[in-house]
Structure 1
Amino acid sequence: MVLLVVKRSESQQFLFEITADTDVEEVLQRVVNINNLRYRIQRLKQEGDKLAVHTQGDQPTSGDDEYDEHMEKLQRALAAAELLQHKDQVARKVALTEDKLQEAVEDIRRAAAIAYPEGLPAEEPFKHALGGTEDPIGTSHDGDELDASEAELWFASKKLPVRSKLSQHVGRNEKTKAVVKLQHAGYGRPPREPVVDEETQKAMLAYYHKKQEDEKRLAADDTMYFDSAWANPKSLKNQFSGVGDVRLS
């Protein structure tokens, strides 16, 4: 299986596995589905946290323990879903699938149905996020989700034609790992990937800084011998003449 690092940005990326002989059109559709599910989970977590704060003072006077237990289950479902889709899964080498993400959404849906058996108000943002009926236009989520017919995949600064095989671009080796960019169609060539990743760049900068400091220290050590008696070219002569370390005041 080819391992793709799919990036919208440095903060929005995930791993996806698929065979090299898959059509780019299918790859695009599947990574768009995962992209949309990831953003949906992010909105659910955001709106679920707000809902929990708003309803803290609204729990019933009887059966508080049961109510708290249901709310805890909802929060656990939200936290588990957030962890599943988090960009850190790339570093953990955990590939995402549509099924896993959809199951996480369903876990949230079931927990919400138990916590709010009478349903949520029609205007509640969490309800719309759960049903996928929110209107993102004009909000911070505008542009998060994509339509496969209006999206593009880029690899090595080249757009991948949908009427081609993935292997035509990344090779036939099923152990290949490649970074691809996912974006709205018509946005042009995405920025080039840095030659090294952020962590490697930090390590390199730390190494060069330490090297500079070591060179400065060694340079300072090299000049210290001029003040030593053994470094005085007249030292031996002075010893024989009895002058020694006589100083003139």
Structure 2
Amino acid sequence: MVLLQVKRGDETLFLFETSINEQTDVVIRDLVAIHNGQLKIQRVCMEIEELAEHGTMLPSEMMGLNEDQIEELKLKDAWADKCIPSGGFTFNKDPLLRRNGQQPSEAMQKVLAGAITDAKAMIDRKLAKSSKYLTLKTIEEALNLLRGAVTIVYPMQLPPHDTIRMEFTNTEDLTGTQASKEVIEPSKAQLWFAGRQILTGKLLKDYLGNNDKTKILVKLNKLGEGPPAREPVISEPIRRQMMAEAFRRQEELKLQSQELRRVADESYF
């Protein structure tokens, strides 16, 4: 099996195991799905942190409004009484005015926090440094872990307009958000290797050769972004080491020069 080190820009996203006999269409599709899955898990974890602090999301017409405005407009959160967390809640006002303030009990907060920690660990980009590769199954397991924790705390489910529920059902709308710039649409995905675009309709070995026991670096890109920057010939750690060595050598030469001048001065007198 060949191991792909998948990067986007200068950042390593994950490692992916495949075969040189795999179709390039399948490889690109899976890489994009894993990348987008990582982003989804990060978004869900961020929202669950807010859920644990400030309860379920307010209806869109109530978001950003203070209590006086809500009262004046005679608005009501119809889901507040339906989606009460297991074990009850205490009120903790959301400073962003996005959530209803019904904070779950400390025990339920721990359930959510534990799931967040475990899910993040499963898709941590640092795993690439330890040669652990990601799979679509791992992404799904991490999402199921988060979904299960939310279900424990909210067995009646979250309101249909809550971002977390929409993320779980793949109905989220990222239009106009920073997240929309990070997600890659499968139809607009490009994969590059050694400055050459890997095209669909081929086999991976058409680009990598017949060596099925190797590790290579590939880059994910979006259509229209152009070829990704080439990797530096010298890695950053080696470059820093070379600079440190050059500085050390420069200091040695400076000391030698000073010593030669001192000896010359003594000889003169």
Q: TM-score, normalised by structure 2?
A: 0.75
| Structure-1 separation of matches of 2:54 and 2:251 | 54
1:60 paired residue among 64, 67, 88: 88
Aligned CA distance change for structure 1 residues 52 and 216 (closer, same or farther; 3 Å): farther
Q: How does 1:174-193 map to 2 (within 5 A)?
A: 174-193=212-231
Q: 1:158-237 to 2 correspondence within 5 Å?
A: 158-228=196-266, 231-232=267-268
- For the pair 1:25 / 2:25, whether they are aligned, the reply is yes
Unpaired runs of 5+ residues, structure 1, are 235-249
Q: What is the alpha-carbon distance in structure 2 between the residues aligned to residue 213 and residue 121 of structure 1?
A: 67
Q: Secondary structure at the match of 1:143?
A: helix
- C-alpha distance in 2, partners of 1:70/1:138? 33
Task: Detail structure 1 runs of 4+ shifted over 4 Å in the superposition.
Answer: none
For 1:203-242, what per-residue CA distance to the aligned partner results, in whole angstroms no more than 9, with x for missing partners? 33333333333332333233232344xx34x7xxxxxxxx
Higher helix share: 1
1:127 matched to which residue of 2? 165
Q: Which residue of 2 aligns with 1:3?
A: 3
How far apart, CA to CA, are the structure 2 residues paired with 1:81 and 1:188? 33
Provide the secondary structure at the position in 1 that maps to 2:181. coil
In the alignment, residue 95 of structure 1 is paired with which amino acid? Y
SS in 2 for 1:137: coil
Query: Alpha-carbon deviations, 1:144-181, whole Å to 9, x = none?
Result: 22232321111111111212111121121122211111
- Name the amino acid aligned to 1:60: G
Structure 2 unaligned regions, length at least 5 = 56-84, 91-103
Q: Give the aligned partner of residue 189 of structure 2.
A: 151
Find the aligned partners of 1:83 and 1:194 in 2 and give their Cα distance: 29
1:61, 1:145 → 2: CA distance? 35
Highest Rg: 1 or 2?
1
Answer yes or no: is the 8 Å Cα contact 2:4–2:216 preserved in 1: yes
Q: CA RMSD in A?
A: 2.4
| Matched residue, 1:139 | 177
SS of structure 2 residue aligned to 1:154? strand
Of the structure 1 ranges 175-184 and 208-217, higher mean CA displacement relative to structure 2 is found in: 208-217
Shift of 1:98: 0.5
Going from structure 1 to structure 2, the CA distance change for 1:225 and 1:20 (only over 3 Å counts) comes to same
Q: Report the CA distance shift for 1:70/1:53 in structure 2 as closer, same or farther (over 3 A).
A: closer
Percent of aligned pairs with the same amino acid: 31
TM-score by length of 1: 0.81
- How far apart in 2 are the matches of 1:73 and 1:101? 20
Kept after mapping to 2: 8 A contact 1:11/1:87 = no
Q: Are the equivalent residues in 1 in contact too, given 2:6–2:219 (CA < 8 A)?
A: yes
CA distance in 2 between counterparts of 1:35 and 1:78 reads 18
Change (3 A) 1:8 1:27: same
1:51 correspondence with 2:89: no
Across the two proteins, how many residue pairs are aligned to each other?
A: 226
Relative distance call for 1:52 and 1:204 in structure 2 (3 A) is farther
Work out the CA distance in 1 between the residues paired with 2:151 and 2:131: 33
